[in-house]
Structure 1
């Protein structure tokens, strides 16, 4: 008997919980723990990590020239990222309370913590700060956009969409005009119930 969409979603949640348990096991394997949101390594592990650090001069000597030349292109994206961050944060702060949509917690998406790893050199740490911010920002923006879509236009697309946000599975089916007119507020209620 084929599984229903709801059963599949529940199975995905169960798998996510199993993944979290596996990640917790790995924390023990790599000998660190989280204390008040901060990573704490055992001292012996920190010493071993320092020994693994590649000096910046050696790191740069091993880097391909094409990678060095492309770095300004990558880092130039910080300008549109910061502008996006400002605009989306202002939109989020003003409009979500008006619509009654629960706010997105920024810290749940933007994590800048890899620069604390002792086995990374200065350049690698800078890269990790940049990637943590940029990818976290995209996740933050995606969640804000997903909640906005769930509020204003909770209709699935006609064809498959890659990388759907977490609210998409609750949307009305494409072509369900009766559902739209008869139950369009349901996805809004579901979104507001998340608070």
Structure 2
């Protein structure tokens, strides 16, 4: 019987490299989805309110959700996502960092809230005045409708839903976020 033994340090290094490689690959937009061009980060910075989202574990049972984007001294973007649990009323906050994947005039970034692991953040529809945006992740499980105000006119919502559906997102699964707290 032939057995070989891989040194533990080499196995750990190989595993870490594999995880990081997979993480790097997973940030691209879904096939057929093109992020906006002419993106201007300085106009995107500030507070955005979540109007709707597809369900995922890190925002489950949250309402009054907002995201605040600000420029860090190293040129990356600080992301602070906050919301209130619907069952307890407690505030939940996550602080992360976003970095451009390629050219800085393309609305395609990668965001991390958990160390070296990044997810895709792709702005696929954006108002000329930066009042609303449709953002998707690296696959069809992640989608958000964001706005500078806590509500959007139905005509804009309909436009964004049509765009999302054309890109292959199941909008029937959207969670419509309540914004009923005065302190958000």
Sort the TM-score into its range (normalised by shorter chain).
under 0.3
Q: In proportion to residue count, which structure has more helix?
A: 1
Q: In proportion to residue count, which structure has more strand?
A: 2
Higher radius of gyration, 1 or 2:
1
**TM-score (norm. length: structure 1):** 0.21
**TM-score (norm. length: structure 2):** 0.22
